[in-house]
Amino acid sequence: MKSLRSCCPISSSLDIFGDKWTLLIIRDFFAGKFLYSEFLNSPEKISTNILASRLKSLEENGLIIEGIKSSKTGKKSYKLTEKGKGLYDVIDAMANWGLQNIKGTAKRISVPPQ
């Protein structure tokens, strides 16, 4: 992990997971997605280069680990670490705020970390 730009915990947290695409990938983990192709198929249409970059960053920061690559399909999977699972309440709070304050939003099914 890089040295901190600021000792502020909010600023430091945002340095790790504070961009749109990273938060949406984390959301997708809680919605039960684990395969690279599943993240690509999210409705927001993330590009392959952005997805690869964000997954690498999440791995470097200890929020996910690469899972076993299927020998049959060759598909790469990922899973949240305990550190990554700790973001569940953050994502859930953001979803609830959006539901209460942004007309036309709908909550997806989310899976609490195990």
The reply to whether 22 falls in a domain is yes
CB-based burial, 65-81: b 16+ in 10 Å, e otherwise: eeeeeeeeeeeebbebe
Position 78 pLDDT exceeds 80: yes
- Cβ–Cβ under 8 Å, residues 35 and 75: yes
Percent of the chain with pLDDT over 70: 91
The reply to whether 110 falls in a domain is no
Q: Is 9 exposed, middle or buried (0-12, 13-18, 19+ CB in 10 A)?
A: exposed
What integer pLDDT is reported at residue 110 of this predicted model? 64
The reply to whether 111 falls in a domain is no
Position 9 pLDDT exceeds 70: yes
Domain containing residue 41: CATH number: 1.10.10.10
18-57 residue pLDDT tens: 999 999 999 999 999 999 999 999 999 999 999 999 999 9
Residue 41 corresponds to which amino acid? N
Query: Which residues constitute the domain of residue 21?
Result: 10-101
The reply to whether 65 falls in a domain is yes
DSSP state of 109: P
Please state the domain count of the chain: 1
Q: How much is the pTM?
A: 0.86
